[in-house]
Structure 1
């Protein structure tokens, strides 16, 4: 019988970690059976999963400010369910990691990045709890920045850490050559949440738009939409900014962009940047996580400090030069195909799930 894997997410709303899980589960098919716990009850990413998968979604709500009580309750569930593997995702699932002490199941913890409360520094209480809960677990990290934090700040044993870069089906994002438009399209694909700092992008665009024809397209939805719409109006660019909302398939939008922009305060190895690279786009981005290392070397001058003026300057230079955009886009496309295709990532994850890598 195929191994049964229990995956615990703070939320199963669609995001990078959830999209990666769906891609892997769909790819491996009947090779694994799955249980998915969304501690907030949001199962929106379920729509990405193949209906033929053997998978169930038990309801396991978590009580606020009750870490010990939650951990004891979760441990009883682990004993009842007896999964072959427990996979916890990010800080929001740490109580399930604590519940597995001492181990009921083999444990992988995946750390994809941090929310707004840890965008600038690690919180001491969380550092100590990660050190306690994860010391005997295999910890999977998609970025070199996170790998360094796990070693130097959380002080986890090097032997327990696995660096597995994110990957995407690069061929699916291949786009035809882009025309040299008089009004270039700057685009981003992101959840409209505070840590994405899309207000920085709108202000940067407004600086550029004061002297150059261009349009801005934001693909994604979230709690910041109303505030961002109002900001575009107050900056005088509402007629040049399009809020496209959530899209199940963003590939056609990448194909319609001339420049990809990332304005986040915190990222690690964002899938959106990989998708933009695979689509042959130049990227103007804030210098967060592994973004600089992900991009082709020639794109490095367009990775900026967390500053709207610097981001506006990078966008302006790219919008001004179609030949530069084409050259950088081709370099990014080649790097994505060579380094970040989904096949290599999937091979690493299969070995982690079936135990052959640990």
Structure 2
């Protein structure tokens, strides 16, 4: 039920009179945009590559299927997460409008597209889609949700004043969804958005899919030298600068110097892969490091791990930590975003400053004490079951999209 079109094609399909307050959609429109009677929800992602926000959207769309019709704009043209949208979801990909005229020309084209498409709800995400949030103000009656999941490395520790002011203007009057308490405080105290329009919606996940007792196939590690065998320290992450996987590799090198046996597995792909592979070789740990690439079932990968590692320089409420918790893994993590608030109390001694030595020490303690790791992992699983239900998250987002109260039944 999915299709892809560019905005020029859309202009041709939508030419025609529009009665005031009534969507008058010419017949060709129904052949290129999602069919059905549900609300038309337009989502704008800086990228629709596989990532936390994109996976959350895919899970939401799959949960409610034909309840809504979805149009997704991927501003960088990457649509990798489209493969996660089920066949029963009315769904289309739309290329963003392009042309000259600088920022003002871009805003004009976005406004024109929104007026032609007339979505019931516009959902934007993060700084990269802020132009669409600004353009939404020029479309009377358009409901706008903005979901802020976090920042790139350039804003990991300092908010740019220009962006603060832009968010303050662009998001005025919008409902702003924050999945972390850190972001909630930032939106209220720094961006100075209306607290009545802020919604804290913690991420949730499928606790049945991510569980300790499922299969590890189709995730298979390549053969490794038995002399280097030991617990598997794994991570699941896009190989991008903000994930600071250099820190994980340097920590691995420190463990190797202590002559501790371990295997390091990085699941995921991205622009930093070649550089990280070269760094592993330079550090002398290439033999015990596996770059597993993208995996079709990350749940199987988690179950192959003994320890989960998050080395990021910036996060808010990372799905990977929730997935590791649900799988019953101990987590060694940098103290970023809401990570310390998410984990079970038993895991807190393994949340470290952004320092290689402290991070390596935390890994070493779990490498050397598998029993403690199992106790910590069991506590994390309990915490995930009690506090991070996917269905609660789904019902909250459904209410935000439809402007109703969540269905808690």
- Shorter-normalised TM-score: what interval? over 0.9
1:348 is matched with which residue?
396
How do residues 154-165 of structure 1 correspond to structure 2 at under 5 angstroms?
154-165=191-202
1:272 is matched with which residue?
320
CA-atom RMSD, angstroms? 1.7
CA contact (8 A) 2:97 2:109 kept: no
Cα deviations across residues 247-268 of structure 1 (Å, max 9, x unaligned)? 1211111111110000000000
Q: Indicate which of 273, 282, 293 corresponds to 1:234.
A: 282
Superposition deviation, residue 52 in structure 1: 2.1
CA contact (8 A) 1:40 1:61 kept: no
1:29 is matched with which residue?
65
CA contact (8 A) 1:39 1:62 kept: no
Q: Indicate which of 74, 79, 89 corresponds to 1:38.
A: 74
Larger RCO (CA within 8 A; separation ≥ 6): 1
1:119 is matched with which residue?
156
1:52 is matched with which residue?
88
Gaps of 5+ in 2: 1-36, 215-227
Say which SS state the counterpart of residue 187 (structure 1) adopts: strand
Superposition deviation, residue 176 in structure 1: 3.2
Q: Indicate which of 240, 243, 267 corresponds to 2:291.
A: 243
Say which SS state the counterpart of residue 271 (structure 2) adopts: coil
1:192 is matched with which residue?
239
Residue 260 (structure 1) aligned with residue 296 (structure 2): no
Distance 1:63 1:187 in 2: 44
1:107 is matched with which residue?
144
Superposition deviation, residue 44 in structure 1: 1.1
Distance 1:134 1:270 in 2: 24
1:14 is matched with which residue?
50
Distance 2:335 2:99 in 1: 36
2:338 is matched with which residue?
290
Say which SS state the counterpart of residue 209 (structure 2) adopts: helix
- Relative distance call for 1:228 and 1:64 in structure 2 (3 A) is farther
Residue 152 (structure 1) aligned with residue 216 (structure 2): no
Distance 2:202 2:252 in 1: 31
Gaps of 5+ in 1: none
Structure with greater Cα Rg: 2
How do residues 207-222 of structure 1 correspond to structure 2 at under 5 angstroms?
207-211=254-258, 212-222=260-270
Q: TM-score, normalized by length of structure 2? A: 0.85
Question: How many residues in Structure 1 have an aligned counterpart in Structure 2?
Answer: 356
Q: TM-score, normalized by length of structure 1? A: 0.96
Superposition deviation, residue 102 in structure 1: 3.8
